[in-house]
Amino acid sequence: MVAAATLLAFVVAALASLFMAWAIGAGSSGSTPFAPAVGANAISVMRAGFIVGVLGFLGAVLQGANVTNAVGRELIGGVVLTAPAAVVALLTAATLVAVGVFAGYPIATAFTVTGAVIGVGFALGGTPVWPKYQQIVTLWVLTPFVGGGVAYATARALRSDRISETWLVPVLAGVVGILVANMEFASLGPPGESASIARITALSLVGDGSAHLLWLATVSLLVGLAGTALVARWMVTDENRAQRRFLLVLGGLVAFSAGGSQVGLAIGPLVPLLDAVTVPLPALLVGGGLGLLIGSWTGAPRMIKALAQDYSTLGPRRSIAAMIPSFAIAQTAVALGVPVSFNEIIVSAIIGSGYAAGSAGVSKRKMLYTVLAWVGSLALALGVGYGVFTLVSGILPV
């Protein structure tokens, strides 16, 4: 039997987690994936909010385990988060994110959650986990340069008179197909591990031997060629319509990836409590996914509009250029189990593709406020999390 006090503490922490999931769905994972598509007039704001909610839920359930475990178990050494610590961390981060949603500025959710969890962990007497911090910071620092740089180069190529869009867009679709073939899912791998469609297919054909990598590459290439052929067929019929279709597919893939990453920010602090209340991780992922879905449906349209209109006036070509590196970075973060900000990913890519047109439509003032919000949210969440939990622990027996 679970002690009544333990169960009550878990319920309170779960409610805080649900609030966090709503805030994330309304802000980061709900707004960023389809913002370029809305900016390119490929889909309406309200329809984008509905679709991103459904896809984010599916991503949370199918890909959310890696980041969830990382947030719950890998950010602090020497201690295990308690229920009160989880509540303080989640409420601290969710409040900051919610303020950003209603103020119209994208607060980096990964920064706030990571800072809050580390803050309460230090207040508990935990120690830093430097290898994990180095991995996280490396991805955070590289994201704007890699994402923005690839988006810029891709947008320049699509705008070039020397390169025909008729074959370049299908080639880009092929690259996306290769990435899709290598997306990892917990349900495909052995217990405790993830696996991709390409990897499972290769293992079923030749096993884990010397020919495994060859078959892995072959399957990936075949999926990529299928994507190329499909988009090439669309391009022959109507180039403008084909680009918008491809952009919507990219938005869907990024929305799915957002669910797989962002759900861990909402429910990760609950992971250390699961053994005590005998709740399986898949059930927790479903609950977090539902929170993301509700947030996307109720709060995302405001942020979608802000990102689509305030950062850059994008057409289909620059939007495609922004979404491809965003999808790649998102899946890299999911595979590594690194909490990452989708606002940082998408905004960096939008700015990069916007500068390909001579920086037309890019708001430097908005960029400055966004960067300051990213940096400030990490420091503020860490400090507030540490301070609030220290205060609470001095009053209550936590």
Residue with more model confidence, 94 or 117: 117
Structure tokens at 338: 């690194």
Percent of the chain with pLDDT over 90: 43
Identify which of 15-29, 78-92, 136-150 has the greatest average pLDDT.
136-150
| pLDDT (tens digit per residue) in 69-83 | 999 999 999 998 888
Per the structure, the count of domains in the chain is 1
Closest-CA residue to 356 (of 138, 167, 70, 158): 158
Confidence of residue 4 (pLDDT cuts 50, 70, 90): confident
Confidence of residue 107 (pLDDT cuts 50, 70, 90): low
Question: What mean pLDDT do residues 172-199 have?
Answer: 88
Please state the φ and ψ torsions of residue 196, each to the nearest 5 degrees. Answer: -100, 165
Could you tell me which residues come within 8 angstroms of residue 125 by beta carbon, excluding any fewer than 6 positions away?
Answer: 78, 79
Residue with more model confidence, 244 or 227: 227
- Distances in Å between the Cα of 321 and the Cα atoms of 118, 158, 194, 223 are 35, 8, 29, 20
Return the pLDDT at 14: 87
Percent of the chain with pLDDT over 70: 89
Strands (E), the chain: 76-77, 127-128, 184-185, 195-196
Rounded CA separation 260/347 (Å): 19
Which residues form the domain of 340? Answer: 4-395
Per-residue pLDDT at 324 exceeds 90: yes
Per-residue pLDDT at 312 exceeds 50: no
Residue with more model confidence, 100 or 273: 273
Q: 67, 334 in Cβ contact below 8 A?
A: yes
| pLDDT (tens digit per residue) in 14-52 | 888 888 888 788 776 666 777 777 777 778 888 888 898
Return the pLDDT at 338: 93
Per-residue pLDDT at 309 exceeds 60: yes
Q: 321, 154 in Cβ contact below 8 A?
A: yes
User: Which of 147-156, 169-178, 229-238, 290-299 is predicted with the least confidence, judged by mean pLDDT?
Assistant: 290-299
Helices (H), 78-211: 83-103, 109-123, 130-159, 165-181, 197-206
Per-residue pLDDT at 363 exceeds 70: no
